[in-house]
C-alpha cells in the first residue's frame, strides 16, 4: 500500500470518530514521523560540563487562515461570545505569530540524549478552561504521567482527549469538567450571561496520559464547545522548551554532543529538524525557519462569505457581544 493510499484510509477512519474534524492529514503525517524514532529509557545523572542551547523560531510565509465557529449553533453563545468577532462567530487561530514572524507557543526539544540532568520537580501540568478556551494551546507532558484540567468558567465543559495514530484516533479519557459551585447556575437573560466574568476553579480533574507505544501526540477538545482545543506532545528527556512572545527558547545543562533539534506545532505537516553540536560549557545559537503550510488545513477554515453561507441572522449576531475581546479574521 502506498503512503498516499494509507493516508486516505486514515482520513476515512478519522472522519468516523467524534473528533475526526480536527485530526487532519497534516497532524497524522506528523504523528507518524515522530513515532518512527525509538524511545529508550532516560538516565538522570549529574552534568558538570553542560552547554546552553538558545534560539529563535520564525514562521516563513503567509500565516494560515484561522478556524471559524458559528456561536449560534453551540451552547452558551452569550458567555462564550464575549470573545468573538461581533458577527456571532468565535475565531480560533492555531498559529500564534508575531509581527516579525516570531513563532510563539511552539515546542522545541532535543532527541538523542540518553542521560543528563534530572527532570524538574514540578507539579503536574495544568490546563485551564477559561473564557471558553483551553489554555495553554500547547502542552509538554511526560508519557504515562498525569495532567490536571480545571474549569474556571461559569458554564459546563467536558474534556475529550485523544491520541493521534496512523490507525486513527484513540480515546485517552472522556470526563465532565464541572464548574465551581459558587458560580450562578441560571442567568436571568443574555445580558447577565455576557456580563458575568468571574473565574473560579472547579474541582480539578487529574487524568493519566498513557499513549500507545511509539505515539507522542495527544489532543483535547470540549464536547460542548468545539472551538476549545489543546494539544500536547510527550517528551522523553528534560531538554525541551516552548517559544516565548519573541519566538525564543533556551535549554541549559545540555551534555556535550550532537543531537537532533525538533520543532513541533500540531498543524505543521512535518516536523522541522536541525542537527546541533554542543561543546563542553559552550553556547549555541540556533535560528530556525519553519515554512508556513499552504492550502486548506481544516474543514472549518474561516471563509470570506461564511456568514451568508451558514445563515447567521442579523438578529442572532446582535445578541452576541464581544465584551471581552473583539476578534479579527
The position carrying cell 437573560 is: 189
| Model confidence at 10: pLDDT above 80 | no
Domains defined along the chain, listed by start: 119-184+195-237 (2.60.40.420)
Query: Do 27 and 33 contact (CB within 8 A), yes or no?
Result: no
Q: What pLDDT does 184 receive? A: 86
| Of 12 and 293, the one with more pLDDT | 293
Residue closest to 33 by CA, chosen among 64, 60, 7: 7
| Mean pLDDT (whole number) for 100-116 | 95
Query: Do 321 and 194 contact (CB within 8 A), yes or no?
Result: yes
Q: Which of 95-99, 125-129, 172-176, 235-239 has the highest mean predicted lDDT (pLDDT)?
A: 95-99
pLDDT (tens digit per residue) in 243-266: 999 999 999 999 999 999 999 999
Q: What pLDDT does 40 receive? A: 61
| Of 133 and 323, the one with more pLDDT | 133
Residue closest to 74 by CA, chosen among 305, 318, 297, 312: 312
Query: Do 110 and 253 contact (CB within 8 A), yes or no?
Result: no
pLDDT (tens digit per residue) in 293-302: 999 899 889 8
pLDDT (tens digit per residue) in 45-97: 999 999 999 999 999 999 999 999 988 889 999 899 999 998 888 999 999 99
Cell triple for residue 328?
A: 479579527
Helix axes 3-15, 25-35, angle to 10 degrees: 120
Q: Which of 16-25, 96-105, 127-136, 212-221 has the lowest mean pLDDT?
A: 16-25
For 229, the enclosing helix (H) or strand (E) is: strand 229-235
| Mean pLDDT (whole number) for 138-151 | 88
| Of 125 and 134, the one with more pLDDT | 134
**295: Cβ–Cβ under 8 A, 6 or more apart, which residues?**
none
| Model confidence at 122: pLDDT above 70 | no
Q: What pLDDT does 311 receive? A: 58
| Of 102 and 312, the one with more pLDDT | 102
Average pLDDT, the chain: 83
Cell triple for residue 156?
A: 459546563
Cell triple for residue 224?
A: 460542548
Q: CA distances (Å), 43 to each of 112, 117, 297, in order?
A: 12, 8, 39
**279: Cβ–Cβ under 8 A, 6 or more apart, which residues?**
51, 256
Residue 41 CA to residue 58 CA, distance in Å, equals: 32
Amino acid at each position: 500500500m502506498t503512503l498516499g493510499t494509507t493516508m486516505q484510509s486514515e482520513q476515512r477512519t478519522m472522519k468516523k470518530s467524534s473528533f475526526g474534524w480536527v485530526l487532519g492529514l497534516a497532524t497524522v503525517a506528523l504523528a507518524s514521523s515522530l513515532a518512527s524514532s525509538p524511545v529508550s529509557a532516560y538516565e538522570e545523572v549529574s552534568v558538570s560540563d553542560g552547554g546552553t542551547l538558545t534560539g529563535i523560531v520564525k514562521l516563513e510565509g503567509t500565516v494560515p487562515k484561522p478556524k471559524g465557529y458559528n456561536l449560534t449553533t453551540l451552547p452558551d453563545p452569550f458567555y462564550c461570545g464575549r470573545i468573538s468577532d461581533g458577527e456571532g462567530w468565535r475565531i480560533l487561530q492555531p498559529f500564534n505569530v508575531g509581527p516579525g514572524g516570531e513563532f510563539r507557543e511552539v515546542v522545541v526539544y532535543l532527541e538523542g540524549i540518553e542521560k543528563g540532568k534530572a527532570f524538574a520537580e514540578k507539579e503536574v501540568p495544568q490546563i485551564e478552561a477559561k473564557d471558553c478556551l483551553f489554555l495553554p494551546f500547547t502542552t509538554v507532558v511526560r508519557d504515562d504521567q498525569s495532567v490536571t484540567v480545571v474549569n474556571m468558567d461559569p458554564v459546563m465543559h467536558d474534556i475529550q482527549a485523544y491520541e493521534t495514530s496512523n490507525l486513527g484516533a484513540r480515546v485517552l479519557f472522556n470526563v465532565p469538567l464541572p464548574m465551581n459551585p459558587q458560580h450562578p447556575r441560571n442567568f436571568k437573560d443574555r445580558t447577565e450571561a455576557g456580563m458575568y466574568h468571574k473565574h473560579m476553579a472547579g474541582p480539578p480533574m487529574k487524568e493519566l496520559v498513557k499513549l500507545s507505544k511509539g505515539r507522542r501526540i495527544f489532543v483535547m477538545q470540549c464536547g460542548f464547545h468545539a472551538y476549545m482545543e489543546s494539544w500536547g506532545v510527550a517528551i522523553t528527556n528534560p531538554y525541551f522548551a516552548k517559544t516565548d512572545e519573541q519566538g525564543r527558547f533556551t535549554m541549559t545543562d545540555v551534555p556535550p554532543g550532537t543531537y537532533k533539534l525538533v520543532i513541533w506545532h500540531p498543524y505543521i505537516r512535518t516536523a522541522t529538524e536541525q542537527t546541533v553540536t554542543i561543546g563542553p560549557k559552550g553556547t549555541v545559537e540556533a535560528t530556525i525557519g519553519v515554512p508556513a503550510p499552504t492550502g486548506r488545513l481544516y474543514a472549518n477554515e474561516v471563509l470570506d462569505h461564511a456568514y451568508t453561507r451558514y445563515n447567521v441572522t442579523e438578529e442572532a449576531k446582535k445578541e452576541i457581544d464581544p465584551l471581552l475581546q473583539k476578534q479579527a479574521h
